Structure 1
Amino acid sequence: MQLQRSKVLVTGADGFIGSHLTERLVAMGVEVRALVLYNSFNSWGWLDSAPSGVKESIEVISGDIRDPHGVRKAMEGCDVVLHLASLIAIPYSYHSPATYVDTNITGTLNILQAARDLGVSKVVHTSTSEVYGTARYVPIDEEHPLQGQSPYSASKIGADQIALSFYRSFSTPVTVIRPFNTYGPRQSARAVIPTIITQIASGQRDLKLGALHPTRDFSYVDDTVAGFIRMAECDDVLGEVVNIGSGFEISIEDTVRLIADIMGVEVRIHTDDVRLRPEASEVERLWAKTKKAEHYLGHVPAYGGVDGLRRGLGKTIDWFTTPGNLAHYKTHTYNI
């Protein structure tokens, strides 16, 4: 499938990954409709900061993924749906789990029902590496058992299974992309890399963090976006789940040290108990096996390995340390 010949709906286009994806699609010459969360400020989220050429090229619809009528209206006339809209903050899922069921599971169901009825050519549904829970073996392939260790991850497991069930039950053309820990410019400070960078950038040298020993497979946002586009274009992954990651794991503590080295500072790390997950909820190890993405999509991460991580972190640090960008973040507040 050639996206340049398609009309593409991006849900969650106002968010971190969604805004980057929208910009990339516009640069490719794709006709894009962006679904953003309705709010009284008429904010388009990160799309408000997009170049004027991007904003002039897209059709923006404000709505709510939980509203089946609004979702259907947003999808009318679209050939491809890249479904990213969801609640993703793990700490907030402990506080308000019902909102995660409504947004992530019911919201995905609304997309699938409309796609089935409207005859959409393809739906790319966004999963997360959190659905695997703590790795039982590494690297983690797509056959790894699923384990909901937080209400967030449980809701994403439910959403993934609903999506795959529509493929199996109704031949709805669904594919599931499973990004590992995406990072980059515009990411929320609820994530660890922006938390580290913004604390340092605001002058702090005594950093407040959660657990330091878990490992993560950090994927730079450009690689994740490339994975989305290749998933949308590939006709051989319908009904399939595909991991998108760097194929490299690093501990949180070593990530802190790497960021501090790039930023040329010395830091002290303090464990802030409020930032710790409940013991059985912490995902101890994530490391993606990316052979399936390479085989089906021809996707090889441009920012893989420690050298790629250093390059991606450098770009991320450059963005966050720009005063106008840093001003978006409350660096002395714990973001759940």
Structure 2
Amino acid sequence: MRKVLLTGAGGFIGSHLAEELVRRNVAVRAFVHYNSMGSHGWLDSSPPDIRQEFDFFAGNVCDPNGVRAAMKGCDAVLHLAALIAIPYSYHSPDTYVEANIRGTLNVLQAARDLGVEKVVHTSTSEVYGTAQFVPITEEHPLQGQSPYSATKIGADQLALSFERSFGTPVTVVRPFNTYGPRQSARAVIPTIITQIAAGVRKIKLGSIHPTRDFNYVADTVGGFLAALDSRAAVGEVINIGSAFEISIGDTARLIAQLMEAEIEIEHDDVRVRPGRSEVERLWASNAKAQKLLGWSPRFGGVEGLRKGLEQTIAWFTRQENLSRYRVNSYTL
């Protein structure tokens, strides 16, 4: 049985990916962020028959010794651990340099020294900044429009440099805006759903004109798994996106329609990025993923978005899930 180290395993995408790996009979060493409560994040909510299969390792990717210890005995690495909240990166950029750049370096150094078969490094569509052309291919210029995106550009380039310099078998997966069950309410889709589910009808949002390419979490997971198994993807950057764009405002109205709610959108200054930092447009080309990975979205286009939103709404509107979220406060 192949063994995979999954960093960021307790997070939104990581937890879905960890569960799917177990379903596919892959042994998972789940690297979760150490905390005094012994929490494994969302993996504590996994079905018992799946949760019992995880080999948990509590640590911090900023610690090279811990990363190396976690990686021993693993055949491959899926590196998802990162600080991802864009607003908090304005507040504390130093922590993003440590987690996203230093943490990635620690993973790469250990992978090189231990000779793992594959490293899949997680990028983000934010590295492109506002689209200069659409759909956005992997050749699009990189623009650091926030401290978060700048650190992810640095991490991506480090990962690619290890493949070029040392032959470390690295693939960079670049997901566009993933959504689905378990996502933090810092993201726009959970923000909208949780407010409506709590009975709010004046929905507080930041800028609503930017467009995004929303990707349902099951499709993102599928992209990671395809990259993990692809030899052709070594040394490559690969977009994982739905190839469909929609504005934040239209997304809010679609969610309201699906939830049968009449809403009014209120502008909330605290949720607005600095003007030149806002990414105005994202729309992915996924042609390379189709060619190299044989991957294409199952939730593509407007109908796929509706289907993914229906599943997301169903999860968030269960009381045991909705109660986890602080609907009336904004978290950086």
Please indicate the TM-score interval, normalised by the length of the shorter structure: over 0.9
Listed as ranges, the gaps of 5+ residues in structure 2 are none
Deviations 1:147-166 (A, max 9, x none): 00000000000000000000
Indicate yes or no: 2:216 matched with 1:234: no
Q: Which residue of 1 aligns with 2:98?
A: 102
- Counterpart among 60, 63, 88 of residue 64 in structure 1: 60
Give the residue type in structure 2 aligned to 1:41: M
| RMSD over equivalenced CA pairs, Å | 0.4
Give the match for residue 79 of structure 1. 75
Give the match for residue 272 of structure 1: 268
The Cα of 1:212 is off from its aligned counterpart by: 0.3
Is 1:190 aligned with 2:186? yes
Please list every run of at least 4 consecutive aligned residues from structure 1 whose deviation after the TM superposition is greater than 4 angstroms. Answer: none
Match of 2:138 among 135, 139, 142: 142
2:315 to 287, 298, 319: 319
Task: Provide, for residues 307-327 of structure 1, a one-character-per-residue CA deviation record: whole Å limited to 9, x for no partner.
Answer: 000000000000000000001
Task: Give distance in 1, aligned partners of 2:50 and 2:128.
Answer: 36
Of the candidates 314, 324, 328, which is equivalent to residue 328 of structure 1?
Answer: 324
| Aligned counterpart in structure 1 of residue 201 of structure 2, from 186, 195, 205 | 205
Can you give the 5+ residue segments of structure 1 that lack an aligned partner in the other structure?
Answer: none
Distance, in Å, in 2 between the alignment partners of 1:197 and 1:275 is 16
Provide the rounded CA distance (Å) in 2 between the counterparts of 1:48 and 1:329: 17
Residues 1:28 and 2:24 are matched in the alignment: yes
1:55, distance to aligned residue in structure 2 (A): 1.2
Counterparts of residues 212-251 of structure 1 (less than 5 Å): 212-251=208-247
**Letter paired with 1:166:** F
What corresponds to 2:42 in structure 1?
A: 46
Report the TM-score, using the length of structure 1 for normalisation. Answer: 0.98
Tell me the distance in 1 between the aligned counterparts of 2:50 and 2:8.
Answer: 16
How far apart in 2 are the matches of 1:224 and 1:324?
25
**Per-residue deviation, residues 183-219 of structure 1 (Å, max 9, x unmatched):** 0000000000000000000110001000000000000
Q: CA deviation at 1:54?
A: 1.2
Partner AA of 2:44 in structure 1: D
Counterpart CA distance in 2 for 1:164 and 1:171 is 10
Query: Counterpart amino acid of 1:75?
Result: M
Given candidates 4, 9, 12, the residue that maps to 2:5 is 9
CA distance in 1, matches of 2:27, 2:271: 41
- SS at 2:29's partner residue? strand
Among all aligned residue pairs of Structure 1 and Structure 2, give the percentage whose two residues are the same amino acid. Answer: 67
